[in-house]
A and B are shown apart, each in its own frame.
Chain A
Amino acid sequence: MIHSFFIFDRHCNCIYSREYTNGDAINKTNDSDTAKLLFGILYSLKNISGKLAHTNDDSGFAPSNNTLKSFTLGTYRAHYLESMTGLKFILVSDTHIDNLQPVLWELYSTHYLKNVVHNGLSPVEFLAENDPYSKISNHNFIVQSDAYIQSLPVYR
Chain B
Amino acid sequence: MKLYSIYILNKAGGLIYQNNLDPSLNRLTANDYLVLAGTLHGVHAIAAKLTPTIVGKDSTSTTSGTDPTANNALLLSTGKVQNSNTNKTGLGSIETDLFNLYVFQSLTGIKFILITSPNPILQKQHEQASETFRHLYVLYSDYVMKDPFYSLDMPIKSQLFDLKVGELAALV
Q: Which residues of A contact B (CB under 8 A)?
A: 3-4, 21-22, 31, 33-34, 37-38, 40-41, 44-45, 47-49, 51-55, 66-76, 92, 95-96, 98-99
Contacts and interface: CB of A to CB of B under 8 A. Distances in A.
B57 interface: yes
Contacts, number: 114
B167 interface: no
B84 interface: no
B26 A54 contact: yes
Given A21-B56, A51-B36, A68 B48 contact: no
Interface in B20-43: 24-26, 28, 32, 36, 39-40, 42-43
For the complex, would chain A's binding face be called helix, strand, loop or mixed by DSSP majority? Answer: mixed
B49 interface: yes
A38 B95 CA distance: 16
Contact of A66 (B51, B55, B98, B120): B98
B97 interface: yes
Contacts of B47: 41, 73-74
A45 B50 contact: no
Given A41-B46, A75-B51, A76-B55, A51 B94 contact: no
Interface of B: 24-26, 28, 32, 36, 39-40, 42-43, 46-51, 53-57, 61-62, 89-99, 101, 115, 120-123
B50 A73 contact: yes
B54 A44 contact: no
Given A48-B36, A51-B36, A92-B54, A70 B95 contact: yes
A48 B90 CA distance: 17
B89 A74 contact: yes
Contacts of B57: 21-22
Given A48-B40, A51-B32, A52-B115, A71 B120 contact: no
A45 B103 CA distance: 13
Contacts of A71: 91-95
Nearest to A67: B97
Contacts of A92: 54
A83 B62 CA distance: 33
A83 to B, nearest CB: 16
B7 to A, nearest CB: 11
Contact of A74 (B48, B56, B98): B48
Contacts of A69: 95-97
Nearest to A64: B97
Contacts of A3: 54-55
11 contacts: A22-B57, A41-B43, A41-B47, A45-B94, A53-B24, A53-B98, A53-B99, A54-B98, A67-B96, A69-B95, A76-B55
A65 to B, nearest CB: 9
Contacts of A52: 25-26, 28, 36, 99, 115
Nearest to B122: A98
